[in-house]
Amino acid sequence: MAAPAYPGWVTRWVSGQWRNKKRPPTLRPPRTLALADKVANRREQLTEATCITEMSVMMACWKQNDFNDAPCAQEIRMFYDCVAKAEKERKNQNEDTLSSRGNLPSSKVNKLLKRFPQITRYV
């Protein structure tokens, strides 16, 4: 016989792979390898404080005039305008658009993902 045909187990045994400690696959995923319907909770980056320049201008005016309100009326009005504008901007910003930094907070992402869940089984 030119090429003796041994059974498969013989070839495997002879090749010594069992001696090389052939192991079953070490990665045994406990869950299905599919994307989950939520992201981890991330601490949102804090936005900066608004109207700091107007406030410091007003305080400088106060220091000069011994904290009287009458001479500082212009600065106080500017501070109030800035505060009203910032408040309006906060109210107007839509919840579903991106924040100023271009990130969606994790709670909103989870809400969206819940609306379109991953299909894990086909019926």
Partner 1 sequence: MAAPSAAGLCRRLRAWLPRIMPVRWSRYNPSYLEPEVKKESYQKPLEELTEEEREQMDLKAVRPIKAAPPTLSSSVFSDPMISKFTNMMMKSGNKVLARSLMSQTLEAIKRKQVEKYHKAPENEKETIECNPYVIFHQALKNCQPIIGLSNITRGGKTYQVPVPLTDNRKRFLAMKWLITECREKKHRRTMMPEKLSQELLLAFNNEGPIIKKKHVLHKMAEANRAYAHFRWW
Element (H, E) at 59: helix 52-64
The whole-angstrom separation of Cα 38 and Cα 111 is: 8
Among residue numbers 74 through 93, which ones bind partner 1 (CB under 8 A)?
76, 79, 83, 90
Which residue's structure tokens are 């009203």? 84
Backbone angles phi, psi at 101, to 5 degrees: -90, -5
Element (H, E) at 78: helix 73-92
Q: Is 110 in the site for partner 1 (CB under 8 A)?
A: no
**Window 36-55: contact mask with partner 1 (x via CB under 8 A):** ----------xxxxxxx--x
Q: Report DSSP state, residue 83.
A: H
Q: Report DSSP state, residue 75.
A: H
Minimum separation from the CB atom of position 86 to partner 1 (A): 8
Q: Is 57 in the site for partner 1 (CB under 8 A)?
A: no
Comparison of 37 and 69: residue with beta carbon closer to partner 1: 69
Q: Is 118 in the site for partner 1 (CB under 8 A)?
A: no
Residues engaged in binding partner 1 (CB under 8 A): 46-52, 55-56, 58-59, 62-63, 67-70, 76, 79, 83, 90
